[in-house]
Amino acid sequence: MKVFTHEVVKSVLLGVEDPEIRCQFVERYESQLENFVSLMVVALDDWERLDSDVAKDIDGAHVSALIYGALNTHLVAMKLLISKNRGQCALIRLSPL
C-alpha cells in the first residue's frame, strides 16, 4: 500500500495536520533522522571553519551567509516536520545531546 499518496502530500503542503502521517514518517525514517543529525553537526562544523576563512571580505561573507542560511533552513524544516507531535509519537528516540 502506498503511504504517501498525492492527496496526503497535498494536504501536508496545504497545512492540514495529521498526527498519524507524522508518526508514520518518523517510524519509517527514524534511523535516517539520527544520520541527519550527525551530518548536520559535521556540516555546521565545516561551515564554522569556512566562515572564519572567507568572511574577511564582503564576497566571502555573502557566501558564508548563504551556506549558513541553507543549513539553518534544513534544521528548521526537520524540526517543524517532527516536533509538533513529538509527545504523541513514542517512536521518536533521537539521542540526547
Query: Does 4 map to a domain?
Result: no
| Range scoring the smallest mean pLDDT among 28-32, 60-64, 84-88 | 84-88
Structural domains of the chain, count: 1
pLDDT per position as a tens digit, 9-41: 666 555 656 677 777 877 888 888 888 889 999
Q: Is 82 exposed, middle or buried (0-12, 13-18, 19+ CB in 10 A)?
A: buried
Across the range 70-82, mean pLDDT stands at: 86
Query: Does 40 map to a domain?
Result: yes
Residues of the chain above pLDDT 90, percent: 35
Residue 38 sits at φ, ψ, to 5 deg, of -60, -45
Query: Does 34 map to a domain?
Result: yes
Query: Does 90 map to a domain?
Result: no
Range of the domain at 32: 18-83
pLDDT per position as a tens digit, 48-61: 999 999 988 999 99
